Every structure is written in C-alpha cells, then in structure tokens.
Amino acid sequence: MWKRRTTALLSDLQVEAIVATYLNRFKAASADPRVELVTIFKNHGDAAGTSLEHPHSQMIATPVITTQLRDRLFSALAHFDEYGECIFCRVLEQELKEEVRIVLETEHFVAFIPFAVLTPFSMLIMPRRHMACFHEMNDAEAADLAHNLRRTLLKLYKGLDDPDFNYVIRTAPTESTGVKYYHWYVSIIPRLTKLAGFELGSGMFINVSLPEENASFLRAADIEKA
C-alpha cells in the first residue's frame, strides 16, 4: 500500500498534504508561548536513526534556540552587516549562475549540492524568494516545495538505490520572521559515509567526492518512468 512507501514514491498531491501538515503543525506549535524553536525532520533508514518501521516525519518544539542555530543566525547577520546582503541569497544566485551543482529547478525552489558540502550528495532545497522562516511560504510555494522535494528524493532513490537519509527544515525561529539576513531551506543528508576519528576529533569533514560530479550524476537520474 502507498502508506508504506517512502516519500519519493508518493504522488505530488500526497507530498503536498505532508508539507501542508508540516506548516499547520509548525504554526500551531510556534503559537505556544513556551516554544522558541520548532524543528521538523525525517529519518529514513537505519543509518539515519529510524526507530519505527513505517515512513514518518517528526517535529520537536523546544523552549530554547539551539547553539547550532544561534551560530548560524549570528554568522548570517555578520555577513549582512558587512556586505548588506543575505548570504543565502548570494549563494543561490552564484549556484544558478554557475549551474554545475544544480540538481533540480522548479518554479519556486532550487535543489543543489553546495560547493563546500561536508558529505557526498548532501543537498539544499532553497526557496528562490527570500524568506527567513518556514511559515512565510504562500500556497503556491508550499505546493512547489512538495513537487521539488519529491523529485529530488526520487533522484536519490533511483540514482543511489534508495539510500538512508535525513532531511531537516532549517528555519529561523518565528521571532525572526521577515529578517533580511537569514533564508530558510531544507537540508538533505544521504547517509553514505560514517563519522570517524578525524571528524569527531577535529570537527572537520573529509569529502572525497566532487559536488559538481555528484550533481551531474543526480541530474542524469531518470525519474520520468518512476
């Protein structure tokens, strides 16, 4: 039955319903005065930490903003203060100009493998319009996110034989809605490698693959017959 299928094998309408649920629950949780941050994510496969057999997403609302996100917000603000631009918009503009790391473009979103990606085939799905917070999407953008997400995951499914992966919606907290320096996105991390002593000991990552070659490989993945 389709209920047991991974996201890549669902229809656009089914993934639209998933994204609509994300938005609904995100807004509801964010309205609670005890909540500072809402994190939505999906674990697929044992290597990604899946704890239940059936496909599912998760949402956790916390009373604090994590150090990881605070560092990301601070760095983005520092760039904006120095250059007067959103660093995420700048990166997206550059990726669209160079084209070599683009995996999939739709009307409102672009999936690409960043130049300095930490692990093989990790990708970002970024909205073309500047938005700091996930809930700032309009209906057309939400539908297009579902369209882009399903096809991007299908390229992973077909090209890499259904790898384990995580995806996370990396959004600013709702208190930062409308800020000019941050830009939300979806991060997709295929679990193709493992952290070893160097990564754990240094905080640095060794990626032996080239993002340009990985992006070219995924672009060529045939998803039309799926």
Catalytic residue numbers read 56
Tokens of 12: 């656009």
- DSSP for 32-93, written as a single string: STT-SEEEEEEEESGGGT--SSS---EEEEESS--HHHHHHHHHHHHHHHHHSS-HHHHHHH
Q: Which helix (H) or strand (E) holds 143?
A: helix 139-159
Contact (CB, 8 A) for 106 and 219: no
CA quadruple 134, 128, 89, 104: dihedral, nearest 10? 110
Helix axes 211-219, 139-159, angle to 10 degrees: 100
